Amino acid sequence: MDKSILERINEFTWRIPTSYKKGMRVPGVIYTSEALLDGVLKDKALEQVANVAFLPGIVKASLAMPDIHWGYGFAIGGVAATDIDSGGVISPGGVGFDINCGVRLLRSDLTFKDVNKKLEILVNRIFSDVPTGVGSTGKIALSTKDSKDILTKGAKWAVEKGFGTEVDLEFTESNGAMEGASIESVSKRAFERGKFQAGTLGSGNHFIEVQVVEEIFDEKIADSLGLSKDQVTVMIHSGSRGFGYQICDEYSRKMIQCLSKYNIDVPDKQLACAPLESAEGKSYFSAMKCAANYAWANRQCLMHLVRGCFEEVFDTSWKSLGMNLIYDVAHNIAKIEKHIVDNKEKKLCVHRKGATRSFGPGQSDVSIKYRSIGQPVIVPGDMGTSSYVCVGTETAMKNTFGSSCHGAGRIKSRTQALKSVNLNVLLKELQSKGIIVKAKGGKTIIEEAPSAYKNIDQVIDVVNASGIAKKIARMRPIGVIKG
C-alpha cells in the first residue's frame, strides 16, 4: 500500500478510508508512529487491514496495533468487532492458528543478586524439565477422560490435578476457561494431536524467560501488581499447540463453502467466515473455545513445571519464594463482549489476532484485585530486549474495543532471519548482555533474533502515548528457554 493512501488522524493514528476499496464497510485505523510506519508498509499487512473491513457486521473500524505485520487472513496485530445481532460473522483467520497463544507473568520475592549466582543452573533445569520444540510431548499424558475435561474446564482441570492453586484461576483471563466449549465440535485428529502436548512449550516464538524488573514507571500501580525494581519475574509464552492448529486448519477450509452459502463477499479466501449465529459459526466458536481452554491449561501446567524448577534450585517451596501469578492474557482469540457503538451498547464478537485485551478500570471482567487500576497487559519483546507490563485504559475501551498490542511484531520473516543472522555473532551479543539462552537448535535462535523484530520500546511508546494501554514496568531477560 502506498503511504499516500493513508490519512493522518494524529501523531500515532492513521486511517485507510473506505474509498480505498469498493466494498469496505468501515475504515481501517492503524496505531503506529512515523518511525514504525515505513516497516509496516513493506509487507501486505495494511492491505489485510483493508480486506478485514469487508466482513459482514463489522463495526467502527478494522483496527491494527503498532506491532502489526502480515499474517493469515487478518494481519497479526489486527482487531475487528462484528455486531452479532446484525449478522456479524466469526472468522478463523481473525483468531489464528495458535488459538489462545498467550502470555503469563509470575512475580517472585527473589532479586537479581539472589538468582544471578545460580542462573545457569536454573536455566538448565528449566530447559531439562520443560519439554520444548516442534511436536514435543510432555510428562502430562492425557487419558481419554482428561482429553475431554481439559477442553471444557481449561486451567481449572490443571488445578484439580494438582498443577497450581485456585488463586491462579483468579488471575487468569476468563478464569482460565470459556463457557460453551463442546467436544462435539472437535475432530478425532485434533484430539490425537493434543493428547500428548499438555505441559509443552512448543517452538517458534514460544519461550520461558527469567527476567529482572529494571524500571518502574508508576510506583503505585506497580505495587498493586506486586512488582518492584530489581525483582525477578518469569514470563511464559505458549498456546494450544497442534490441537489449536488443527482446529483452525479444518474450520478455515470448511468456511470457504460458507462464503457462497451466505452470500459473503470478501477479497481474500483466508477471511472465510460465517455468521456467528449460523450452524457453522457456532460450531467453529465452540471448537475455538476448546482450543482456548486447552491453551490455558497448558500454560498452567508449564507454570507448575517452572515453579518446581525454582523449588529444586533454591531448595524451598514456590510459595515461600513468592512465585505468584500476576496475570495471564490471551493473544489469539474471539470473544463475545459488550461495547458502546454509536452511543448504544451492542453485543459484539471481538476478534483479537496477535492483540491483547486492555480493559480499563471498573470493568467487571477484570479480577477484583485489579479492577481499580485496569487489566494487566503483558507485552513481551524479543529474547535480547525488554518486555513490558501495562494496564488497560478507558481510552482503549472507547477506541479499540479494549485492545492493545501483544508484542514487538516481526519485521523479518523466519526465512529472512536465517539468511541474515550469524548464530555465533548473535550468541556472543546475547552473552555480552548477560543473557543465557537454551534451545533445541540454533535455527530457532536465529529465527527469533532481536533484529527480526521491531523496537519494543517504540511500540510501547505508541501504545502509551495513544492511551490504549499505560506502561507500568519494564523487565529485561537474563535467562531464555526457546522451543
Write the pLDDT tens digit of every residue in 410-459. Answer: 888 889 999 999 999 999 999 999 999 999 888 989 999 999 999 999 99
3-state secondary structure of 199: coil
**In CATH, what number is assigned to the domain containing residue 315?**
3.90.1860.10
pLDDT at 135: 64
26 sits in which H/E element: none
3-state secondary structure of 171: coil
Write the pLDDT tens digit of every residue in 92-149. Answer: 999 999 999 999 999 999 999 999 999 999 999 999 999 886 666 666 666 778 878 9
pLDDT at 421: 93
pTM score of the predicted model? 0.95
317 sits in which H/E element: none
224 alpha carbon, distance to own chain's centre: 23
Measured CA to CA in angstroms, residue 4 lies from 15, 16, 28, 41 at distances of: 11, 10, 14, 11
Q: Which residues are catalytic?
A: 406
Give the Cα separation of 45 and 47 in Å (integer).
5
Number of folded domains in the chain? 1
pLDDT at 137: 67
3-state secondary structure of 439: coil
Share of the chain above pLDDT 70, in %: 98
Write the pLDDT tens digit of every residue in 5-50. Answer: 999 999 999 999 999 999 999 999 999 999 999 889 988 999 999 9
Domain that holds residue 174: 3-482
Q: If you average pLDDT over residues 226-240, what whole number do you get? A: 97
Q: What is the mean pLDDT of the chain?
A: 95
DSSP category for residue 231 = B
Write the pLDDT tens digit of every residue in 186-211. Answer: 999 998 888 777 788 887 789 999 99
